[in-house]
Structure 1
Amino acid sequence: MAFVKKLIRYFPAVLVMVCVNLIVLSFYGYSSILKSGDQTLCANCLKPQPWHVPHVPEVMGPLKATTPVAKVIPNNNNETQSRSTRNQNNSESIGLSGKKRPDKPWSVDQMDSFRGLMMDRKQLLSKTCDNFRRRGILPRTRSSVYRNLIVMKERKIVWCPVFKASSTTWLHYLLDISSLSQIEKTRLREKYNNSPLNMISKFTFRPVSSVYERYSKEVKGIKSFIIVRHPFNRLVSAFRDKIERYHTPELKDDFYYKVYGGPIVGRFRKAALRRFGSDFFSEANHFGAPVPVSNGRRNAKLPSFWEFVQYVKACRVSRMDEHFRPIYDFCSPCDINYETVIHFENLSEESKYLKGVLDPFGATAEAQIEWANPNLTGLKLDDLTTLYFQTLSSEDIIALYKIYELDMKMFGYSFHLKNITLPQP
């Protein structure tokens, strides 16, 4: 009887222990199934899921094996710049080296090579700046340059937008990866369709020098980048987009005509007529344009490329419009550290890597790069620039090179047309 009484007394406790053991065993059994099965059912949700692991090669997709770094020609001072062994290609046509797309596929697990490419570019930039600094010809950095930077605090991104080097595209991309709601993003795009810089002002800031210096010291893990472009290609692009045509129903209302086009024609048209003759500005000759202007928004009152170049030659660099001002003056890469230097000429490939740097966890994988302001002539960029530069004399080209020399050397670009090779071997 005593045994029965004890059994009745302790039975509930024994039953509870048995139930607990069964629950624990079933849990561990289920966990082992999870571990051996589909990883997307990961039990520990605090750890990064497999699809969130920052794996840059997958972000980039297939790349090309040869580097987009331009071949750099030794200058007259026997300062032979480094040339990546991964690129032995020369551009065709006018020889804007760095522009020809590589033609061997990158292996997806070779992102170390791409990081090495970034290091090569930074080293070339640093050596060029040091060389100009030692020779006492490095332009002084103006404090106002820092106001050109765009700082996105929520992503720790610092970017200097080089206009005519995919700046509009990347302004939209920053909006895409911001934490704003989709409704707010759509509203901002519609409101600031013609002024994309204002579109991102809600979640970015433009620092003064003291604010940026403090920010760069206090914040760890800053992702700074710059997208550069061959100076002569960029110059032609700026002219074609802003000066060669008008953008309003009436020419007199166009901003760039009032500020640049009209004054340029007033100053240089007589010299242009002496050089080219009156037929050069006829309608049959597209009013002096090497290729027809779409929508018919060009007439003889607008400058030719030769007239525009005379203006650029005579203009102080600090007073140039941001669309063709040299990068060394607008972004000051000799004083501001840019971790990633992307070449516009290989942007379709390199943008995939850059997206992996700016958004490594792929939290905004839906953000797509949509190219703004594309070249719609059907001509290769090299060929298009050739057409415009053929209207210039050797003296004009050399004078332009002197204006953009630091940009050319910092970013490894060269130029060849007829008997002109720059930098000179």
Structure 2
Amino acid sequence: TGKKTTQLQKLRKDYIRRMCDIEKKALSAQKPRIKNIYDHFIVEERQKIIYCFIPKVQGCACAFLSIVERAGLFKDVEVEILYYTVPLPCTFLTADVLFFFFFLQNRLMNYTKFMFVRDPFVRLISAYRSKFLYNQKNEYFYRKYGRIMMKLYGNQQKPPQTMKEAEALGLLPTFKNFVQYLVDPQTEKKEPFEPHWRQMHRLCHPCLIEYDFIGHQETLKEDAEELLKFFKLENDIKFPSPYKNMTTSNSAMDWFKAVPLEDRRKLYNIFELDFKLFGYKRPRVS
């Protein structure tokens, strides 16, 4: 890319390459389908930037690329939203037609690629908080996932039909129910995890794609500033401060208190590759 890489970025990328090699056997067993590999890739054509969007990781393209758009650096960019309804100055890559596979591969080889990751368990807590605590916008998640959690693990044979009713009765799925749903072997047999709690490496495939920049939620401010320097935009854009009420690693213990140790261990096994590939320590709760 011709852009300077800091020592921290070099360490992160070298670490991922080593871990990908070490975990080759575990990764090869997953065999992602071509059409799903690109579902979370967002591309800005003019600057030739590709961002892998991971739900519940702050610092996503919704923030970064929108800021760039407001700065007037990207103009008249055609917007195509395939999976989400947020306004972005970009398009989602999609490989629904095999014919486009080689075209997309060319993009991945020649465009600048970046992603942001987050402590896997903290990300799960954030996903639960944002999708299963009462909010009218979460009706879809309650109906599709919440009612199942309550019926299978919450001793509710006939859960309320709507999230509003469940909130009024104090019968929303608990974080324990959410973990029970994730560790149940039948869950992923039926369909892949919903992207808000799907493993990060299964969304961005860091062992198949070599990223130019890897940011961490825990060092978001510093990484975002470094990313702007990476794109030579530090004089044009100021990245906003992170939200102060974010779920943190320190608060994770409180959330897992009600979760049995065996379920915590099962959960770690499911997200173990995320911990290992992105350099996060095994949490005390597991």
**Interval containing the TM-score (normalised by the shorter chain):** 0.7 to 0.9
Give 2:119's aligned residue: 230
Structure 1 pair 399–214 and aligned structure 2 pair: CA distance change class (3 A): same
Residues 152, 205 of structure 1: 8 Å contact kept: no
SS at match of 1:155: coil
Unmatched 5+ stretches in structure 2? 96-100, 157-166
Would you say 1:148 and 2:35 are equivalent positions? no
Give 2:161's aligned residue: none
Give 1:311's aligned residue: 181
Deviation for aligned residue 1:324: 1.1
Give 2:224's aligned residue: 351
- Give the aligned residue type for 1:226: M
Structure 1 pair 298–120 and aligned structure 2 pair: CA distance change class (3 A): farther
Give 2:245's aligned residue: 376
1: CA distance, partners of 2:233 / 2:177? 49
Match for 1:393 among 257, 260, 274? 260
Would you say 1:116 and 2:7 are equivalent positions? yes
2: CA distance, partners of 1:181 / 1:347? 23
Give 1:195's aligned residue: 85
- What CA deviation, in whole Å up to 9, does each residue of 1:102-137 have, x standing for no partner? xxxxxxxxxx8x712111111111111112214675
Structure 1 pair 340–333 and aligned structure 2 pair: CA distance change class (3 A): same
Residues 53, 115 of structure 2: 8 Å contact kept: yes
1: CA distance, partners of 2:52 / 2:207? 13
SS at match of 1:178: helix
TM-score (norm 1): 0.55
TM-score (norm 2): 0.79
Would you say 1:333 and 2:206 are equivalent positions? yes
Deviation for aligned residue 1:300: 2.4
Match for 2:145 among 253, 257, 260? 260
- What CA deviation, in whole Å up to 9, does each residue of 1:184-221 have, x standing for no partner? 99xx9xxxxx932xx12x5434242433102234x3xx
Would you say 1:270 and 2:155 are equivalent positions? yes
Deviation for aligned residue 1:395: 0.8
- What CA deviation, in whole Å up to 9, does each residue of 1:85-107 have, x standing for no partner? xxxxxxxxxxxxxxxxxxxxxxx
- Give the aligned residue type for 1:263: I
Deviation for aligned residue 1:308: 0.6
- What CA deviation, in whole Å up to 9, does each residue of 1:240-263 have, x standing for no partner? 111132335xxxx81111111112
- Give the aligned residue type for 1:261: G
Structure index of larger Rg = 1
Match for 1:212 among 104, 114, 121? 104
1: CA distance, partners of 2:26 / 2:141? 37
Residues 40, 93 of structure 2: 8 Å contact kept: yes
- Give the aligned residue type for 1:254: E
1: CA distance, partners of 2:43 / 2:16? 22
Residues 225, 234 of structure 2: 8 Å contact kept: no
Residues 40, 92 of structure 2: 8 Å contact kept: no
SS at match of 1:417: coil
Residues 119, 249 of structure 2: 8 Å contact kept: no
1: CA distance, partners of 2:27 / 2:227? 34
- Give the aligned residue type for 1:349: E
Aligned Cα RMSD in Å? 3.1
- Give the aligned residue type for 2:44: M
Unmatched 5+ stretches in structure 1? 1-55, 57-111, 189-193, 272-296, 421-425
Deviation for aligned residue 1:375: 5.3
Give 1:407's aligned residue: 274
Q: Which moved more, 1:343-352 or 1:124-133?
A: 124-133
Structure 1 pair 138–270 and aligned structure 2 pair: CA distance change class (3 A): same
- What CA deviation, in whole Å up to 9, does each residue of 1:386-408 have, x standing for no partner? 11111112211110111111110
- Give the aligned residue type for 2:217: F
1: CA distance, partners of 2:282 / 2:172? 28
Structure 1 pair 136–325 and aligned structure 2 pair: CA distance change class (3 A): closer
Residues 120, 271 of structure 2: 8 Å contact kept: yes
SS at match of 1:224: strand
Would you say 1:243 and 2:113 are equivalent positions? no
Match for 2:61 among 170, 175, 180? 170
Structure 1 pair 232–118 and aligned structure 2 pair: CA distance change class (3 A): same
2: CA distance, partners of 1:371 / 1:260? 32
Structure 1 pair 172–135 and aligned structure 2 pair: CA distance change class (3 A): closer
Deviation for aligned residue 1:340: 0.9
Give 1:157's aligned residue: 49
Would you say 1:302 and 2:192 are equivalent positions? no
Residues 51, 61 of structure 2: 8 Å contact kept: no
Structure 1 pair 175–342 and aligned structure 2 pair: CA distance change class (3 A): same
- What CA deviation, in whole Å up to 9, does each residue of 1:8-39 have, x standing for no partner? xxxxxxxxxxxxxxxxxxxxxxxxxxxxxxxx
Would you say 1:322 and 2:195 are equivalent positions? yes
